[in-house]
């Protein structure tokens, strides 16, 4: 058995199988439970390192399961739900959940959040996936873009593209490199996809600082140009 075990308590079979696929590729042993009434017993037997817990379940709802698990374990719990109201999120966190993700969600973002809560839980001294420049913070643990101190709503793929470029300041990437390295097997379009995402990022970032910029290298591709420290 792997030392990474994820319990997915989710009654939507499509979502459960999608999570099984992606978590399996990430090295997790995955146990699926579709019945809230059985979830606590499976938790006791499986002893997972992280729990992904839907709120609306047959048998028992996610709040009850979260409360029961938290009474005996500090294992990271991420709530998965269609409810996105602040009161729902606050309620879940107050019951002991570590994070709260609303459906529909980006699976790569969810996996990044899983790693983040597991690191916090285990006290690992792992380098954060966060880049900081003048008036700019790109945080891939929380998938947050902070511009001039303000969080800017940014789709996951734009975040991944910006992080990839900014991780190698002043390096030029061709469109095909970016498609391979950022989109990977999820990609089914053409190279104009990169152009569209860069355009949207520029709308969020243009003119923020004179110490860095998202540059087009004509005939080649793109780079994140930044002053050398």
Contact 210, 200 (CB under 8 A): no
Instruction: Give residue 126's pLDDT.
Output: 47
In terms of CATH architecture, what is 5-122?
3-Layer(aba) Sandwich (3.40)
Using alpha carbons, select from 100, 89, 138, 99 the residue that is nearest to residue 120. Answer: 99
The first and second tokens of residue 136, run together, are: 């700019």
Instruction: Give residue 23's pLDDT.
Output: 93
Instruction: Give residue 65's pLDDT.
Output: 93
Burial profile 74-96: b = 16 or more Cβ within 10 angstroms, e = fewer: ebbbbbbbeeeeeebbebbeebe
Distance CA 141, CA 152 (A): 15
Instruction: Give residue 129's pLDDT.
Output: 81
Bridge partner residues of 8 (DSSP):
32, 52
Instruction: Give residue 94's pLDDT.
Output: 66
Contact 77, 97 (CB under 8 A): yes
Instruction: Give residue 188's pLDDT.
Output: 59
Which of the 8 DSSP states describes residue 209? -
- Give ranges for CATH 1.10.10.10 in the chain: 130-226
Kindly tell me the burial class for residue 189, based on how many C-beta atoms sit within 10 Å of its own C-beta (0-12, 13-18, 19 or more).
Answer: exposed
- Give ranges for CATH 3.40.50.2300 in the chain: 5-122
Handedness of CA 175, 181, 183, 185 (dihedral sign): positive
**Which CATH number applies to 130-226?**
1.10.10.10
Which secondary-structure segment (H or E) carries 18?
A: helix 13-25
Instruction: Give residue 125's pLDDT.
Output: 44
Ranges of residues in the chain whose predicted pLDDT is under 50 = 1, 124-126, 185
Instruction: Give residue 149's pLDDT.
Output: 92
């Amino acid at each position: 058995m792997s030392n990474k075990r994820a319990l997915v308590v989710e009654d939507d079979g499509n979502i459960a199988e999608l999570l099984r696929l992606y978590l399996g590729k990430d090295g997790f042993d995955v146990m699926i439970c579709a019945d809230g009434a059985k979830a606590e017993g499976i938790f006791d037997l499986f002893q997972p390192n992280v729990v992904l817990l839907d709120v609306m379940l047959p048998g028992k709802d996610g709040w009850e399961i979260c409360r029961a698990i938290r009474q005996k374990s500090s294992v990271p719990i991420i709530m998965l739900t269609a409810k996105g109201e602040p009161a729902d999120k606050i309620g879940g966190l107050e019951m002991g959940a570590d994070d709260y993700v609303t459906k529909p969600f980006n699976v790569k973002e969810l996996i990044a959040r899983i790693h983040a809560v597991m690191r916090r839980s285990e006290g690992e001294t792992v380098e954060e996936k966060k880049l900081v420049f003048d008036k700019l913070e790109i945080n891939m643990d929380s998938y947050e873009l902070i511009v001039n101190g303000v969080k800017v709503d940014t789709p996951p793929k734009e975040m991944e593209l910006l992080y990839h470029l900014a991780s190698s300041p002043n390096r030029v990437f061709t469109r095909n490199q970016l498609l391979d390295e950022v989109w990977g097997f999820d990609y089914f379009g053409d190279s104009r996809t990169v152009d569209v995402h860069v355009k949207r990022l520029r709308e969020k970032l243009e003119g923020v600082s004179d110490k860095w910029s998202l540059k087009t290298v004509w005939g080649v591709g793109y780079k994140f140009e930044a002053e050398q420290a």
